[in-house]
Amino acid sequence: MPKKILFVEDESALQKTFGDVLGQEGYKVVSALDGEMGLKMAKTEKPDLILLDLILPKMHGFEVLKELKEDETTKDIPIIVLTNLESMGDVEKALELGATTYLVKASYTLEEVVTKIKKALGE
């Protein structure tokens, strides 16, 4: 069974790019376009990993992260924050709330992000 990745991101261009790449890498990608939907899908889809943007419609990524880590059924899913916010305060807050890794979009290539995803999945 392919591992499932939930991508919470409101930019549909990125949904497509990552969907294609991760699909080719053999993962099943499910998309959520806002924070609320992301939270709901994390519970129903039971993904192996969540890629989470921070600036999201309806619910901020930090809130999604907090609720996921407080919920018994989702607290063990590794979460990679993938955002363009890069202040130390945001990085620290995300890691404190339980994010596995924090990636700033502007600083990483696609291949590097894929490598980080594999690492977080223990591959």
Binding site for other proteins (CB under 8 A): 11, 13-14, 17-18, 20-21, 24, 84, 87-88, 105-106, 109-111
> Largest Cα–Cα distance of the chain, in whole Å?
38
Minimum CB separation of residue 103 from other proteins in Å reads 11
Nearest to other proteins of 20, 71 (CB atom): 20
Nearest to other proteins of 11, 70 (CB atom): 11
* Cβ-based burial of 121 (10 A; exposed 0-12, middle 13-18, buried ≥19): middle
Length of the chain: 123
Nearest to other proteins of 44, 87 (CB atom): 87
Q: Which amino acid is at 105?
A: K
